Structure 1
Amino acid sequence: MAPDIGTPEIGQNGARLPEAPEATPRACPPAWARRRRLRGLLHGLLRPLVPRGLLARALLIILIPLVVTQAIALQIFYGTHLDVISRRLASGVAGDVGMVVELLTRYPRGADGEGERGWIFREAAWRMDLSLAFEPGADLGPPALRPASLPLLPLEEDLDRALKERVRLPFDTDWQTDPRSVIIRVGLPDGVLHVEASRKRLFWGTIYLFFIWLVGASLLLFAAAALFMKNQVRALRRLAGAAEAFGKGRDTGPIKPEGASEVRQAGAAFNGMRANIRRFVAQRTEMLAGISHDLRTPLTRLRLGLAMLPADAQEDAAAMTQDVEEMERMVASYLAFARGEVLEAPEPTDLVALVREMAERAPAEGGEVVVEAPPSLTLPLRADALRRCLGNLLDNARRHAAHVAMTVHPTPGWAEVHVDDDGPGIPAGTREGAFKPFASFSAGGTGLGLAIARDIARAHGGEIALGESPMGGLRATVRLPM
């Protein structure tokens, strides 16, 4: 009987079992999980923005620190030193204007009417580089509204702030009327004072030189880095092109190591790998050629011996003759599989003409092949090897089907040749195993036809795949790079 809820359970030895812990709220993910999620989010956001090429990435690695460094330098220089200089220049102009206003306020008129004011104007023009004009009885009025498209510059803010501290009278400034000067209007008790100050007194001209030097040095450094990285990337591109061509069976010879020491080391390693592969293939071909010769010699003697048997023994020797022929055929297939036509150089070949040639041979060998293809399609091919590849596929199709069709279908960057039949096909789970050497699905076969075909296709830089055929049987697709 189950214990009541709330009653502790008792074990077999009479000991009280520990109570089940109460359900606790779900704990927050650990810090490392949050950091990992954040890194994944940043990677997903930045990945579309990061260029794919090595040259662009290298230049980006150089450009980002360069721009950040220049931005920090400009901020420190402009935000501190230049800002201090700007405030001091604005304070100097505001102090001069304030001094003139103070003099005009203390000495509004001289003994001869305008003598004191004229003297103040002349002295200000000579000693302070200020052009002054007085409009008696005028009113300053409300300040003019500034257009929204013209934001207030930091220099204008510094001047307005300094005028408020030094003048302490109503004023306004005009920066748009004259591009070479700023006009300051100050409201006095008996009129309006117009002050025209040159903008050279407010600007620090060396900022442009500093900015030009900063940007020019950055552009020069970036151009030198781009030229250097382009040379390094060019060496990598040549290495990649040579490796791709060698993988497609287009041996262009050894490459010249160039660039940085690591790139030169990679080029030298590629040349060594290429030489080792060619030496291995040559040794394998020579070895199997010798084995084939050694095996064919005793087979020929056996065939000769069987042929010289008396007539009454010919019936008994028929089975032995078939075994000898089978052994000769197997030896030839093994040698073809190992050799793979690796010594043939690729040449521009019309793939459509080659396919039609293979289809025209079919009636003489016991079957008709329907071809559907464009007028022509020229590719760099090893023609004899590709004939063997397509021949093996056609032999397999004719062996198991009554109708066979071949289709040449060009796609972007690739040319596909489909070999379709209406036979029983191969189950999907065993299609990849059909490419293994000596894996035969029919009696009398060596199991090397598809293996040789795939070896030839891969030597061209392509591939072979098996699938369902629209005719109901098997489709073998040969993909070749264009």
Structure 2
Amino acid sequence: MRGFRTFWSDEQFERSVRRVLPRSFLARALLIVLIPMLVTEGIALELFYGTYLRVMSRRMSDSVVADIALSLDLMERYRGGGDRAWLARQMLARTQLDMQWRQGSRLLRTGSTHVIGPMDEDLAHALQAAIARPFFVDWLTDEHRVYIRIQLPDGVLSVDTPRKRLDVGQLWLFVLWAIGSSLLLFAIAALFMRNQVRAIRRLGKAAEQFGLGRDVEPIRPEGAREVRRAAVAFNRMRDRISRFVMQRTAVLAGVSHDLRTPLTRLRLSLAMLPQSGVVDAATLREDVVDMVADVTEMERMIEGYLSFARGEGAETPVELDIGALLDDVAMAARRGGARIRGVSHDADLMLEARPDAMRRMLMNVVENARRLDAGIWISGRAEGRNVVIEVDDDGPGIPAVQREEVFRAFASGAQGGTGLGLTIVRDIVRAHGGEVRLAKSEHGGLNVRITLPR
């Protein structure tokens, strides 16, 4: 046994199975449908052929042989010629058996010809058991009758039997029905499976083209529910990746432009520093302060770019207390000089999310309002299966026609930021499966509504 395992390992077995199985998903799916169907038809055929057909064939053969045996017994009792003729007429009228007596004849052959089914064997066995005389059964000469010849001491008894008394039915009719129904069901299954596989092939082709960096149109969801879900998920992934690539490309294009201004000021400040002689400490200190401010500004810009480019994919989601997070963000914003007018939230407001990303997202929203020196209200609540976080302020707000524009990279940097604050906010919210909307606040400024699914 151990040597067999060594010779025929699991890996070799799987390789052999893979070599036999077809490679396409459609062929394998049809094979999954075909094999159980053939097994079912085989079981049905065996049940019919092995039980019902055999039992009925034996009963019918026994009935015909019993009539023949009774007629032979009567012939032995009544040997007159008129009696035999009367008996033959009665048997034909009562049992449909046409009996003819051939005086002095001899059988040229014995046994039975063969047909499909158990009828021939059952009739031969019944004749051997009940009569125990030489006989010959002809199943092939006439398709409607069976000819039975029995050798008696003084002649041959010829019995022409209607085939319907011995044959349950044409076996090929059942086989044809089984094969025909299987082919019909297989054709219907093939039609449905081809439609399902076509949707999977289209999804695979689109994924391959998109992986090669080519522009792919959104896939129309079709097929089974799971395939439609896969198509919808692919379309969402395509939109996210396309948006990610466009935003990162815009960031790379804007980095050099944004850093050029402080670098130019820094270069000019360095060029204007006295190269020799006595240097006024107050003047030098003023130039140093300006250069430090430029360096600080560049550090802030670079940190914003890195935060945006880094994304939040590496952080593991955990069960997060949104109420505690809002309180923490409000406290940190107050320390930074923000005018937090109110914080409210539901108790036990939990959400599975990335803590650092959520904190960074909320801090960016609050920081945008702080730069305007506006009063800020923060709230959180549950709405159905979603968690809704709102940040309101009493600042100047944003016109409705510009609210979508500010989510683009570098479009929101007019208040002294890097232009990535709201872009990062939307990225983080969408990475959590949510959405962010801007509207007019009831306090007169801007309302930032963040909806996250639980």
Question: What are the equivalent positions in structure 2 for 1:28-47 lying under 5 Å apart?
Answer: 29=2, 34=5, 37=8, 39-47=10-18
Aligned to 2:33: 62
Deviation digits for residues 435-469 of structure 1 (CA, Å, limit 9, x no counterpart): xxxxxxxxxxxxxxxxxxxxxxxxxxxxxxxxxxx
Indicate the residue corresponding to 1:89 in structure 2. Answer: 60
Looking at structure 2, the residues matched to 152 and 204 of structure 1 have their Cα atoms a distance apart, in angstroms, of 12
Residue in 2 that maps onto 1:257: 221
Q: How does 1:154-169 map to 2 (within 5 A)?
A: 154-169=118-133
Moved more, 232-241 or 68-77: 68-77
Matches of 2:102 and 2:133, distance apart in 1 = 16
**Partner-residue secondary structure (3-state), 2:101:** strand
Task: Call closer, same or farther: CA 1:40–1:157 in 2, change over 3 Å.
Answer: farther
- Identify if the C-alpha distance between structure 1 residues 145 and 47 changes in structure 2 by more than 3 Å, giving closer, same or farther: same
SS of residue in 2 equivalent to 1:73: helix
Q: Give the Å deviation of 1:157.
A: 0.5
Counterpart position of 1:350: none
2:50 to 56, 79, 82: 79
Match of 2:142, SS state, is coil
One of 191, 199, 212 as aligned partner of 1:227: 191
Partner Cα separation in structure 1 for residue 259 and residue 59 of structure 2: 103
- In the alignment, is the contact (CA less than 8 A) between 2:110 and 2:134 conserved in 1? no
Match of 2:91 among 124, 133, 138: 124
The Cα of 1:127 is off from its aligned counterpart by 0.9
State the distance in 2 between where 1:97 and 1:39 align: 64
Aligned to 2:380: none
Q: Which residue of 2 aligns with 1:367?
A: none
CA distance 1:36–1:239, change in 2 (3 Å): farther
Partner of 1:240: 204
SS in 2 for 1:135: strand
Task: Return the match for 2:104 from 115, 118, 137.
Answer: 137
What are the superposed Cα offsets for residues 266-290 of structure 1, whole Å, 9 maximum, x if unpaired? 1111111211221122122212222
CA positional deviation for 1:235 = 1.2
What SS class does the counterpart of residue 2 from structure 2 fall into?
coil
Alignment equivalent of 2:238, drawn from 274, 290, 300: 274
TM-score, normalised relative to structure 1: 0.50
Q: Does 1:202 align with 2:175?
A: no
Partner of 1:358: none
Distance 1:65 1:35, change over 3 A: farther
Q: Percent identity?
A: 52
Give the distance between the partners of 1:42 and 1:267, measured in 2 at CA.
35
Q: 2: CA distance between counterparts of 1:152 and 1:244?
A: 57
SS in 2 for 1:172: strand
1:194-234 CA-partner distances (Å, limit 9, x unpaired): 11111111111386665565445444443333232222212
Distance 1:152 1:273, change over 3 A: closer
User: Aligned equivalents of 1:63 and 1:152: distance in 2?
Assistant: 27
The 5 Å alignment of 1:45-56 reads: 45-56=16-27
Show CA shifts across 1:239-297 (max 9, x none).
11111222233313111122222212211111112112211221222122222445677
Letter paired with 2:218: P
**1:79-478 alignment to 2 at 5 Å?**
79-108=50-79, 110=80, 114-143=81-110, 153-205=117-169, 214-294=178-258
Query: Greater CA deviation, 66-75 or 289-298?
Result: 289-298
TM-score of the superposition, structure 2-length normalised? 0.53
Amino acid at match of 2:20: L
Deviations 1:3-42 (A, max 9, x none): xxxxxxxxxxxxxxxxxxxxxxxxx639xx8399364454
Count of residue pairs brought into register by the alignment: 270
Distance 1:142 1:225, change over 3 A: closer
Residue 111 of structure 2 contacts residue 135 of structure 2 at CA under 8 Å; is this kept in 1?
A: no
Question: In the alignment, is the contact (CA less than 8 A) between 2:112 and 2:124 conserved in 1?
Answer: no
Q: Displacement, 1:303?
A: 12
SS of match in other structure, 1:133: strand
From the superposition, tell whether residues 59 and 134 of structure 1 become closer, same or farther in structure 2 (CA, over 3 Å). same
Q: Residue 173 of structure 1 aligns to a residue in which SS?
A: strand
In structure 1, stretches of 5+ residues that fail to align are: 1-27, 305-337, 339-482
Superposed CA RMSD in Å reads 3.4
Contact 2:102-2:156 at 8 Å conserved across structures: yes
CA–CA distance in structure 1, aligned partners of residues 138 and 265 of structure 2 = 117
What CA distance in whole angstroms lies between the structure 1 residues aligned with 2:19 and 2:146?
Answer: 49
